[in-house]
Amino acid sequence: MANELPLHIGFIMDGNGRWATRQGLSRSEGHVAGANAFRRICEYGCDLGIKSMTFYAFSTENWKRPPAEVAAIMDIFRDYLREAEERKLENAQKGMHMHYMGGRDGVPEDILDLFDTAENESINATRTTVNIAVNYGGRAEIVHSVRNIAKRVQAGELAPHEIDESLISAGLYTAGQPDPDIIVRPSGEYRLSNFMIWQAAYSEFWYTDKLWPDFTEADLDQIIADYAKRNRRFGGV
C-alpha cells in the first residue's frame, strides 16, 4: 500500500451539526463527536505514513456562527491541544508534526500559544505533518502570500517579472509540503468551501453522504483504495 498512498490528503470536516441534530444532541456535542473523528483519522493516517494531512477545522466564515457555538469550538481546540501536550512523547515517537494553518487575528491568544507550543515541540517529527486549519480561508491565504510578495517588490528585493507560481506557493501556509493529492468532502456537499483553492488545482476529490463524526479508519482505507485506481494525467495524455 505504501506506493499507492497519497502524499497529502485534505479533509473538509463537515456535518457535525447535522449529525448532532439526527442524534437529538446539541451542535456543541456534534463538534465534540467531530473532534473524536479527527483524532481517529489523524492517528490512523499517521500510522499509515501519509506525509501530510490537512483538516479544515474552522473557516474565516465560521465566525458568523452563534457566539456560544464558536466558544464551544474554541474549547474543543483547547482540550485537544492540552491532550497533545500530555501525549507529546507518544506523538514524537509516531513522527507527528503539528502545524497551525490560518490567520491569527481574532483567535484567542491562549489557543495560539498552545498551537505554537505543539508546533515547536514537534518540529523534529518528520513522518507526518498534521495541518490544522483554523481561521482559515483559501482566498485569504493567497492574499497573505501576495501581500508579502508586494512588500518585497516595494523594498526593491524582487522585480515584478520574477513573480511566478512557485513564489506564491512558497508564501502559502503549506509551503514546503506537497499539494493535496485528494480532498475529502463528507456530508453530501460538493464544493471546496474556500479550502486550499490554490493548492487544489490538480487534486482529486472524494465525496460521501456520510457525516464527519461517523468517519472511520475503514473510510480512509476506501479513500486510499479509490485514489490508487485513478489516472492522474496533470493535463497530459
Q: Which residues are catalytic?
A: 14, 62
Residue that is written with C-alpha cell 483554523 in the block: 134
DSSP reduced 3-state for 100:
strand
The one-letter code for the residue type at 218 is A
Cell of 183: 480532498
The one-letter code for the residue type at 17 is G
Separation of alpha carbons 134 and 104, rounded Å: 8
For residue 162, the tally of other CB atoms under 10 A from its CB is 11
Residue that is written with C-alpha cell 485569504 in the block: 140
